[in-house]
Amino acid sequence: MAEITASLVKELRERTGAGMMECKKALTESNGDIDAAAEALRKSGAAKADKKADRVTAEGRVGVAGNGGKAVLVEVNSETDFVANDVNFKAFVDAVAAAALASGAADVEALKSAKLPSGETVEETRATAIQKLGENIQIRRLVRIDGGNTVGTYVHSNGKIGVLVELAGGNAELASGLAMHIAAMNPPHNKAADVPADFVAKEKEIELAKMSEKDKAKPAEILEKIISGKINKIINEVTLYGQNYVLDSDKSVEAVVKAAGGDVVGFQRLVVGEGIEKVVEDYAAEVAKAMQV
């Protein structure tokens, strides 16, 4: 039996991120063969990842990477905010975003096989991260812009909201400001022409129902003018171009963009966990139940 030294255990820990006792056990079982031990730990990590795969991941971070006219956002989820703020998790998110940009992956499934600088794939590194951090970790979404125009990016300081905006013309400073605006104001649509017709029709119906009988009795052209004014206000609220610019609230986004000779082609906005039903744990009830067993 080969001697399992502290330095050998340390080297294996640095390579795999596994715990000290797991590394020692793997080295003992492999008779000191560090490559075989590393492979065994990777397989073990994949098994643990499979066991955790059904656990809800509603926390996490958004990662961003960009170069020239190309940029990506990725949403990587964890089970708890504690892990989401771990330096190792943050590093993994950054690595995934960089791999998404470099590989040109169009979706999460394609991203899984992209290679990281370590030589491992994103999926292999995810399994290692699960083993190291002890939680289910999932790469949930990937969005990208690669039209060759100016791209503005923004990730909020807590890592929970990320934005990409594509700007034809204009400048990088404006693109960056627009990304911040979109993060804060969350416009569902870009321009008035992008608002669905059925939404407009429904809002007209609602506004008409809210009017008094006296107003409804007014001449058709006046009634239409009143309704149109209300609808235009609603459209301004739900479109990027119609909103007041957060960095210059006296002007609309449309006015600011046009003054800079630009045009917003489109944007992407991700919020961590949106659409995921979070599990609320009742720890007091759980402890009480355990004590009755």
Q: Tell me how far apart the alpha carbons of residues 75 and 84 are, in angstroms, rounded to a whole number.
A: 11
Task: Give residue-wise pLDDT tens across range 87-106.
Answer: 999 999 999 999 999 999 99
For residue range 11-54, what is the model confidence (pLDDT) as tens digits? 887 776 666 777 888 888 888 888 888 788 766 664 444 444 45
Q: Are 159 and 174 in contact (CB under 8 A)?
A: no
pLDDT tier, 57 (very low <50, low <70, confident <90, very high otherwise): low
Q: What is the pLDDT of residue 17?
A: 64
What's the half-sphere exposure (Cβ side, CA atoms, 13 Å) at 100?
A: 30
Confidence of residue 263 (pLDDT cuts 50, 70, 90): very high
pLDDT, averaged across the chain: 87
**Can you give the pTM of this predicted structure?**
0.75
pLDDT at 155: 97
What the block records as the tokens of 196 is 């669905």
Residue identified by tokens 């059925």 is 198
Count of CA atoms in the C-beta half-sphere (13 A) of 199: 13
Secondary structure of the chain in the HEC alphabet? CCCCCHHHHHHHHHHHCCCHHHHHHHHHHCCCCHHHHHHHHHHHHHHHHHHHCCCCCCEEEEEEEEECCEEEEEEEEECCHHHHCCHHHHHHHHHHHHHHHHHCCCCHHHHCCCECCCCCEHHHHHHHHHHHHCCCCEEEEEEEECCCCEEEEEECCCCCEEEEEEEEECCHHHHHHHHHHHHHHCCCECCHHHCCHHHHHHHHHHHHHHCCHHHHCCCHHHHHHHHHHHHHHHHHHHECCCCEECCEEEEEHHHHHHHCCEEEEEEEEEECCCCCCCCCCCHHHHHHHHHHC
Express each pLDDT in 107-153 by its tens digit. 999 999 999 998 999 999 998 888 888 888 999 999 999 988 999 99
Banded pLDDT at 293 (limits 50, 70, 90): very low
Note the pLDDT of residue 11.
83
- CB burial of 78-105 (b: ≥16 within 10 Å; e: otherwise) equals bbebebbebeebeebbbbbbbbbbebeb
For the chain, list the domains and their CATH numbers.
6-52 (1.10.8.10), 59-186+266-271 (3.30.479.20), 192-252 (no CATH)
- The pLDDT of residue 284: 55
